[in-house]
Structure 1
């Protein structure tokens, strides 16, 4: 297949990504007065206010916590710093709804710990199922987004800038505020915007806390009110918010162009005895975000081992098979799009890449309703006009397409990076020897890209295991997964019984995160 063939194949793969965007935006062009009146009077004021408070709280919390941890690890020397530099990334593997299950099981009013404190000590802990509790849980789940980018910014520029400021007579605290922090602000802003996008898209954690946001409103409009029009109208409002955040995040990345100050690595500031306070602070964050929830999940899981019945193993099998299929298909699609961009660079392939990688910034609930409604409408049209009974909606194929739209960006990054490392001279030499087409893919690309393919497939596999709203809203009848099982149990108030599937999801996420973060351990 020549360059043009790869380009047209990439065009075909990009078309599904346009369906939810077009369908959702089209909902704004056909407003229904009754629907809009209901939304403006009963739905949007509450969900918009709740979402705004959640964005404000989680954004501020992750910005402060992620920046503080990144500054400690990158700029200071204290006991355990090298270990904490990668250990602090591990909470990224814990979905927000898994942390929610653990913390509600630990700090709920009837939980053993709160009952003991109330009966023995007379201390009543604040209600965990509140806006403050949700903000705290989501902050612990999402702070690594800010920590990762801020750590890189401080390590590459902030340390040398702080050293220069110290040489000019500034104290450590003033040097940090006047030199290091301003240099890292674009990275911190970019990481915080990613957190805001994840918060806006969250469905599992807010559902566990019974907190109404745009994503839960979409789900209720579809499954409780049985109104796809209402769901699309809410999704359209949510899409406008997502597009604003995507634009701000892209603008923040353009500002991330400061040159490195100096060539040699700057010495980190020793904290002396105060270093143990830094060690204690990092340990406390890891305990709260990882060790404590995992311990609670193990404790509750051991108490409900009887739930390991045929239904549980069926959910596990479905989760593994769906994740494996999504990983393979999405990685192949990412390779086709990346190869088309390499073989025939230009406006068309650039636009294809932008469109196909946009889905990761879209909430799962929005993708589900935006994809399901037009496909169901088309299926109905085929039946009415052609007499073709083709149930395109409600099947595994549409669910896998939704996964592909959502996670193509995750697979594209390592695959495109691997392709860039293949020198054009090597491909030209293989063509001169008659190795072209499928033979070139098998004998040249595959051996050199196996590591990139494995990384891409692993990342998509884990993200699919954790994905809740798309699976919940689009799965075929009877195709329950671990994520949907967690939703059903928490929806019934059975948080302790939700521990087993939550623990399986957490362990599935921890393994690849540990493998990927340990690669950079020696670099810090």
Structure 2
């Protein structure tokens, strides 16, 4: 204290107040955010608890018969996907972000369109094209009759499929990096005698490394979480094994044990992704030279055009053309049932989007009113579900729901009330699972919009007597309409395309478009699966258009 008084008396500036890490400014909003965090944390803790209380018989069986195959298959899968997505994503990101060639403006947004196609749709389309009775192998046998069956149901085939589905993650991140670098660094390298290719590898690529690494971490997480594509290719991974353990062997405990391992792997990848993201810097180098692109000439510009066109055809145009062909062949079937599946899908999507967007708005407004470290941690935990595969989340939610059902039934049985399966297998529980899974998507859109509202607006509203819910309803919601709509559309499409949660938790007889695609493809009925697939792709184009619009800005 004496030292502080002496410093002030000498004219020195008073020391900055220490940041209160555990302060709570708005208890009501913190309680709401904490409740959302608890709900999201329950399935994670349930899954991780199986690591602390292992069943030695199950673990020994898994170790002898399952884990080795799953580990090898997973390593092979990632070993193929990582280089494929790196080469395609970084290469296309450099061409559209830093170069100029014919068709660049078109490919800049068109190469994002594969985001609209679910991976399981990629899987059955290319399986139908390259299967034994497909056009490719039929054509090969017509020329070379001695060639037998070429099986693409292996790690190579599924790796190519998932690479076509997930390369946009790396493409978007690397393109953003190359666009924000400007031309100053490249020009400096050129003045030192480096060729354009050497300047790319020596300067541009190292500067974009954190962005590329973060995109690859997302690719790895999505690859580990994929269920539909690996199931269609009958390629055993953790997600596929979890489903088989639950619905094939009817062993929920085995599914939980496998889920605990996958959860650890995914959470480790999430921590790595957050660490990579923390190293990113969005400062532009040479802003005044940003518009100057490397103009490709001669054969190089046509090579760039051909590379972009090839990826666009393989990742979007060809699957869409094949689906429309199959759809026309199956149009004579009973379309009334497709209307029922579409209606079920839309109802689930609207319910999930409404609940998730409301929760995202409440969480974002709570963070706005109490921007402390505790609130930041509550927000991170509440949005953790997006990092978990649908199969893991379904197991983690179903176990406590079954426990609650059992206890409620035992309490009400003496009075003659039957409450069996009141919670598990209900639409409410499935919609809650959607909310936990996709809260991060809705929160990202809403929170980005709320950050654009200056704090002075809230302070002015308080001076006029608006507080809490009144301020949210009268001030923030009208100003957040665009962000709320964006978040709702993103969640709506994610829910409509979600396969594992719907497949594992839906009530009996409640079928959706994604479920029917899984059932039809399991039976090899590509034509019947095409119609619901086309509907899902058309719906998926909405968030992709929003994404490309934001990317252009």
Q: State the TM bucket, normalised to the shorter chain.
A: over 0.9
Is residue 495 from structure 1 mapped to residue 518 from structure 2 by the alignment? no
Shift of 1:108: 1.2
Shift of 1:309: 3.3
Written as runs of structure 1 = structure 2, the 5 A alignment for 1:433-472 is 433-472=464-503
The aligned counterpart of 1:270 is 295
Is residue 398 from structure 1 mapped to residue 422 from structure 2 by the alignment? no
Alpha-carbon distance change, 512 to 472 in structure 1, aligned in 2, over 3 angstroms: same
8 A Cα contact 1:166 1:175, kept in partner: yes
8 A Cα contact 2:117 2:540, kept in partner: yes
What's the C-alpha RMSD, in Å, of the aligned pairs? 1.8
For structure 1, which segment, 413-422 or 492-501, has the greater mean C-alpha deviation from structure 2 after superposition? 492-501
The runs of 4+ residues in structure 1 deviating greater than 4 Å are: 120-126
8 A Cα contact 1:368 1:402, kept in partner: yes
Written as runs of structure 1 = structure 2, the 5 A alignment for 1:303-342 is 303-342=329-368
Give the alignment partner of residue 72 of structure 2, picking from 43, 46, 49: 49
For structure 1, which segment, 375-384 or 469-478, has the greater mean C-alpha deviation from structure 2 after superposition? 375-384
8 A Cα contact 1:159 1:180, kept in partner: no
Written as runs of structure 1 = structure 2, the 5 A alignment for 1:202-221 is 202-221=226-245
Is residue 231 from structure 1 mapped to residue 255 from structure 2 by the alignment? yes
8 A Cα contact 2:182 2:289, kept in partner: no
Written as runs of structure 1 = structure 2, the 5 A alignment for 1:87-236 is 87-120=110-143, 126-157=150-181, 159-236=183-260
For structure 1, which segment, 12-21 or 457-466, has the greater mean C-alpha deviation from structure 2 after superposition? 12-21
Q: Structure 2: how far apart are the matches of 1:55 and 1:228?
A: 27
Give the alignment partner of residue 21 of structure 1, picking from 30, 37, 44: 44
Q: Structure 1: how far apart are the matches of 2:183 and 2:109?
A: 18
Task: List gaps (5 residues or longer) in structure 2.
Answer: 1-24
8 A Cα contact 1:73 1:151, kept in partner: yes
Shift of 1:452: 0.1
Match of 2:441, SS? helix
Q: Structure 1: how far apart are the matches of 2:273 and 2:542?
A: 29
Q: Structure 2: how far apart are the matches of 1:495 and 1:67?
A: 33
Q: Structure 2: how far apart are the matches of 1:435 and 1:34?
A: 61
Written as runs of structure 1 = structure 2, the 5 A alignment for 1:367-446 is 367-385=393-411, 387=413, 389=419, 391-446=422-477
Q: Deviations over 1:342-380 (max 9, x none)?
A: 101223211110101111110000000011011111221
Written as runs of structure 1 = structure 2, the 5 A alignment for 1:239-318 is 239-257=263-281, 259-266=283-290, 267-273=292-298, 274-318=300-344
The aligned counterpart of 2:10 is none
8 A Cα contact 1:88 1:144, kept in partner: yes
Q: Structure 1: how far apart are the matches of 2:293 and 2:128?
A: 41
Shift of 1:125: 8.5
8 A Cα contact 2:402 2:423, kept in partner: yes
The aligned counterpart of 1:504 is 535
Shift of 1:116: 3.0
Q: Structure 1: how far apart are the matches of 2:549 and 2:479?
A: 22
Match of 1:416, SS? helix
Q: Structure 2: how far apart are the matches of 1:515 and 1:9?
A: 30
Q: Structure 2: how far apart are the matches of 1:158 and 1:176?
A: 13
Q: Deviations over 1:55-76 (max 9, x none)?
A: 1111221111100100111121
Q: Structure 2: how far apart are the matches of 1:241 and 1:515?
A: 31
Task: List gaps (5 residues or longer) in structure 1.
Answer: none
Q: Structure 1: how far apart are the matches of 2:265 and 2:511?
A: 31
Q: Structure 2: how far apart are the matches of 1:240 and 1:225?
A: 23
Q: Deviations over 1:458-490 (max 9, x none)?
A: 000111111100010001111110001111111
Q: Structure 1: how far apart are the matches of 2:248 and 2:323?
A: 31
Q: Structure 2: how far apart are the matches of 1:96 and 1:310?
A: 26
Q: Structure 2: how far apart are the matches of 1:396 and 1:114?
A: 44
Report how many residues are paired: 521
Shift of 1:271: 0.9
Q: Deviations over 1:190-226 (max 9, x none)?
A: 1000000000000000011111100010001000111
Q: Structure 2: how far apart are the matches of 1:408 and 1:96?
A: 21
8 A Cα contact 2:349 2:495, kept in partner: yes
Q: Structure 2: how far apart are the matches of 1:173 and 1:426?
A: 50
Shift of 1:13: 2.1
Q: Deviations over 1:259-308 (max 9, x none)?
A: 43223234211111221111111011000000000000000111111334
Q: Structure 2: how far apart are the matches of 1:431 and 1:283?
A: 55
